Structures are given as structure tokens and as C-alpha cells.
Structure 1
Amino acid sequence: MLTLAPEGLRSVLFVGAHSDDIEIGCGGAALSLVEAIPGLRVHWTVFSGDGRRHAEARASAARFLAKADSPTIETLDYPDTLFPTRYDALKQELARIRDEARPDLVFIHRREDAHQDHRTLGELAWGAFRDGWILEYEIPKYEGDLGAPNVFVGLSEAVMQAKLDALWDCFESQRTKPWFSKDQIAALALLRGLESRTGERYAEGFYSRKATLRFGSNSAR
């Protein structure tokens, strides 16, 4: 499969409704980006959680972004499962984050995600980030809402293992949940690796609804 390598990325934004969403959906991409692009500005926002979950989220973000230069990590306190009732506030929050981060690339939830909190952020993203490239990530869940991603990031064995280990080490509160397992996360990455033919065994899948290609240079947006 043809691989495009966007040039000129200066700022990336990671958005998650809950602690561990970003890591599950695009943790491998995060690890790969901060390794590949020195000086990349990184903004990482988790929209909900209590004291323990916030602590886990911050510890995890620090681990995933260990090679980033002075990343911005923030945890907010919007009520879990009630994001649709906070639509206006969330819209304003995303506008604030956009103005602070000025992202070239945005990782956020998929617009068709079956979880109402994920879906709300995915819907709002398209009004908030009109000047950035939005990649919507996927979260496997009981509802079975996985689709057919059209953008893939190949993950080396080392990156995949680092993602799994960080998730397990940092989110102790989630270890008893039936959906939180290394095997399940690795299985989806194996499937996406098969579908994408990136040259790596594992991959993360994303949805890109709009992109502009500029021929004559090695840039894509």
C-alpha cells in the first residue's frame, strides 16, 4: 500500500473522553510521533475522571510522551456518560484547546462511536478543528461498533509492546474490566496490521474524512 509521510507537522493534539481512551485508540501513533519528530508540540487532553482516574491519566500521558519536549497534559472534570448534556460547554472547551494548541494534526474519537461521550466529542471536532487534519481513532467495546478504517499507522513490535505495557502499568483501576486486556488490544492491532500492509505486524486504524494532497512535495494534509 502507498505510504504518505506528512511533512511540516509542528503541533499535534490528542483528545480523549475518558482516561485510557487516547492510549487504546492511538497510543502507538503517539509513541511513534514523539520519537520521529523532535520538537513537536504536543497537547493531550482527557475530558473526564475523578481523582484516581486523573492520576492514572497523567501518569500514562507522561509515559507515552516521555520523549516529547514539554508536552501540555490536562485532565478535565466533565461528567462521565453525560457529555451530550454538556454540548455547549464542550464546544467552548474544544475551541479553547484549539486556540491554545493550534494543532496541525488532531486525534479524536470517531463520529459514529457507540459511546455517547466519544460520539459527542467526535461530532464537535469538525466544527472546532477546520484547519487541522483530523484522524478519528477507534475503541473496541461491547457494543461492537468497529468499522473499516481508511488510514493506518504501522507499529513496530517494540512500539506495540510499549503501548501494552504502559496501559497495563498505568491503569490499575481498569484491570478487572472485561474489555481491558493486552490480548484484546493486540488482537485489533494484528487485524489492522493485516489490513494495512504497512510492513509491520501491528497497526492502528483511523478514519480521515477530508485530506488535501499537494503534488510536487512530500506533504499531505
Structure 2
Amino acid sequence: MKVDVLAIGAHPDDVELGCGGTLAKLISEGKKVAIVDLTQGELGTRGTNFTRAEEAAEAAKILGISARENLKMKDGFIQNSEEYQMKIVTMIRKYQPEIVLSNAIDDRHPDHAKASKLVSDACFLSGLVKIETVLEGKNQQPWRPKHIFNYIQWKNITPDFVIDITDFMQKKIDTCLAYKTQFYDPNSTEPITPIATKDFLESLTYRAQDLGRLSGVEFAEGFTTEKLIALKNFDGIIL
């Protein structure tokens, strides 16, 4: 079950909105990617937890990820508790990712920043030998990811680095639009929410375009990092 990258989101659609283009690019390069959603998004104004599950499955199919799971934490009430930490530790040890991508460190929805800290702490705890976890009757081995990167969501956080997603912008849009109940639909009779407006849908493109403008590419996604990144050389930098 080992993957290269484990993307974690507080709600179904967080990952697609925050780093869908990056995941699509990684998968095209042969990397294995899994997604773990912490909640079912059951407090969302539009749709239900059942429609969100169907939409998440469709988005996963479009992306071509290796696995997707939902931990069914309580939407709107994510806490950095031992119970929730251990749920994530189990997932980290199951998938053994080199990199974990997680929610924004500060954002409009309180679950996002809470999930960011929760995931960070769980990644550390997952590497401790004396913390024991069992999955499907088998003892799990300690595992600590090499890096934790946080994608950017509602707020305009200054990224520490960006990923060029120029060739994958449309796939990002397609995966987001798999969440049909959540985003702009002129024919919908459901209440309007901040993410269900035409402007929000268009912002997916113009925000990625602006990060691209600043970094010399067409479209980009931004990330913050918990620790200083060391480059082996300059070969990977787009000049």
C-alpha cells in the first residue's frame, strides 16, 4: 500500500481545490498518490454526505489516484485530540508516504487550520517506536514522512514554493467540478454559498494564473513548508 504522496483534506474537495493540479502532475510522472478525507463534509450547506462521497469517488477516478479513504471525523469540530491523531497515524503507517500534503495553515474555515496542525502532529507521532498501532490484525511499523507541505485555500497565503501545473490546469478544474453540488451551477435551486459562486469558480483559474505570473509559468499551485528545503542542485528550477 506504500505511496509516494499522501494528500489529506479536512473535507472532500479540499485536496482537489488546493493541490489537484499537483497531484495530477505527480500521477502523470508515475508517482503513487492516495487521498485521506478527515470528514464527510456533512455540515456543508449544499448536498449531503452521500452526494459528497459519490463526488469524491468521481474526482478520484478523474485524477487516477491509487486509493481514497474517509476517516469520518466530525465536520466542523476537528480537534487535535489523541483519538484523531491516532486515526491519522494509522493512515500514515498504512501508506508510508514520503510526502504529506495537508490543509492551509490559516484559512476561513476553522477546520482547515486545525487539520493542518493535527496532521503535522500525527506525522511526528507516527515515527515514534513506542506508539503501537494495529491495522487489520497486524502491528504497524513506525513511519515518518520526509516532508509536510501545506496547500493554499481561501486566504492568499504567500507560498514558500510553487509547482508548475500548466499542463494539468484543466484536469484540476475537472476534478473540482466533480463536486456538482458544491460549486457554481446556474440551474441549481440550492442556497448560494461562498464557494458556489461564479467568481469562486473563476478564481481557481486566475489565482493559479497569478502564481504562474509571479514564477514564470502559465499556471501554478502554491505551498508552504514546515522546514527549510535543501536543493541538490539548480536543475529543477524553472528559469
- Quickly name the TM-score band, shorter chain normalised: 0.7 to 0.9
Q: Where does structure 1 lack aligned partners over 5 or more consecutive residues?
A: 1-8
Report the Cα distance in structure 2 between the residues aligned to 1:201 and 1:13, rounded to whole angstroms: 26
Cross-structure match for 1:155:
165
Report the secondary structure of 2:164's partner residue.
strand
Report the secondary structure of 2:17's partner residue.
helix
Cross-structure match for 1:48:
39
Deviations 1:37-69 (A, max 9, x none): x2x33221111122211111121112112xx5x
Deviation at 1:214, TM superposition (A): 6.2
Quick check: 1:202 aligned with 2:193? Answer: no
Cross-structure match for 2:72:
77
Cross-structure match for 2:87:
93
TM-score by length of 2: 0.74
Report the Cα distance in structure 2 between the residues aligned to 1:24 and 1:217, rounded to whole angstroms: 29
Larger radius of gyration: 2
Deviations 1:183-210 (A, max 9, x none): 111111111112222xx21100100121
Structure with more of its chain in helix, by fraction: 1
Report the secondary structure of 2:27's partner residue.
helix
Does the 8 Å contact 1:87/1:120 carry over to 2?
no
Q: CA RMSD in A?
A: 2.3
Bigger shift: residues 105-114 or 205-214: 205-214
Report the Cα distance in structure 1 between the residues aligned to 2:84 and 2:99, rounded to whole angstroms: 19
Report the Cα distance in structure 2 between the residues aligned to 1:60 and 1:215, rounded to whole angstroms: 34
Report the Cα distance in structure 1 between the residues aligned to 2:55 and 2:233, rounded to whole angstroms: 45
- Superposition pairs for residues 26-175 of structure 1, below 5 Å? 26-36=19-29, 38=30, 40-49=31-40, 50-65=49-64, 68=65, 71-84=66-79, 87-130=81-124, 131-140=145-154, 145-156=155-166, 158-168=167-177, 170-175=178-183
Report the Cα distance in structure 2 between the residues aligned to 1:154 and 1:128, rounded to whole angstroms: 29
Report the Cα distance in structure 1 between the residues aligned to 2:95 and 2:108, rounded to whole angstroms: 28
Report the Cα distance in structure 1 between the residues aligned to 2:183 and 2:211, rounded to whole angstroms: 24
Report the Cα distance in structure 2 between the residues aligned to 1:191 and 1:90, rounded to whole angstroms: 36
Deviation at 1:164, TM superposition (A): 1.0
Report the Cα distance in structure 2 between the residues aligned to 1:217 and 1:189, rounded to whole angstroms: 24
Does the 8 Å contact 1:58/1:75 carry over to 2?
no
TM-score by length of 1: 0.80
Deviation at 1:118, TM superposition (A): 1.1
Does the 8 Å contact 1:46/1:57 carry over to 2?
no
Deviation at 1:81, TM superposition (A): 0.8
Cross-structure match for 1:3:
none
Identical-residue share of aligned pairs (%): 23
Report the secondary structure of 1:19's partner residue.
coil
Displaced runs of 4 or more, over 6 A: 216-219
Does the 8 Å contact 2:3/2:34 carry over to 1?
no
Does the 8 Å contact 1:133/1:211 carry over to 2?
no
Deviation at 1:212, TM superposition (A): 4.7
